Amino acid sequence: MDTTTFAQIWDVLQRYVFNIANLQGMLRLATPVILAGLCALITSRAGILNIAGEGIMLFGAWFGVAGSYFFESAIAGLVAAMLSGFVIGGLFALFSLKFKANIIVMGIAINIFAVAATIFLTRVVFGTAGAFADPRIAGFDPIEIPLLKDIPIIGPLLSGYTFIIYLTWILVGLTAIFLYRTPWGLHLRAVGENPEAAETLGINVERIRFGAVMASGVFASLGGVYLSLGHLQMFTDQMSAGRGFIGMAVNTFGGGEPVGVMLASFLFGFVDTIGWRLQGERLIPVYFISMLPYLVTLIALTVFTLRKKRARMHAMGNNNNHE
Q: How far is CA 170 from CA 29, 35, 239, 259, in A?
A: 17, 11, 25, 11
pLDDT in tens, 121-135: 999 999 998 899 999
CA distance 55 to 62: 11
Q: Is residue 84 a contact partner of residue 60, using CB atoms and an 8 Å limit? A: yes
- pTM higher than the cut 0.75: yes
Could you give the CA distance from residue 208 to residue 36 in angstroms, rounded to a whole number?
A: 20
Q: Is residue 18 assigned to a domain?
A: no
Amino acid at residue number 301: L
The segments of the chain whose pLDDT lies below 70 read 1-3, 5-18, 278-290, 292-294, 296-297, 300-301, 303-305, 307-308, 311-312, 314-323
In a domain, 88, yes or no: yes
* Domain span holding position 160: 23-139+149-318
Question: In this structure, what DSSP letter does residue 151 have?
Answer: S
Q: What are phi and psi of 236, to 5 degrees?
A: -130, 150
In a domain, 1, yes or no: no
**Domain membership flag for residue 4:** no
Q: In Å, what is the CA distance from 267 to each residue of 41, 50, 168?
A: 17, 22, 16
Predicted confidence (pLDDT) per residue in 13-56, tens digit = 666 666 788 889 889 999 999 999 999 999 999 999 888 999 99
Burial status of residue 71 (CB atoms within 10 A of its CB: 0-12, 13-18, 19 or more):
middle
With respect to residue 7, please indicate whether it lies within any of the assigned structural domains: no
Query: Is residue 24 a contact partner of residue 156, using CB atoms and an 8 Å limit?
Result: yes
170 is a domain residue: yes
What would the DSSP string read from start to end of 54-103? HHHHHHHHHHHHHHHHHHT-HHHHHHHHHHHHHHHHHHHHIIIIIS---H
Could you give the number of structural domains in the chain?
A: 1
**CATH number for 131:** 1.10.3470
pLDDT of residue 300: 67
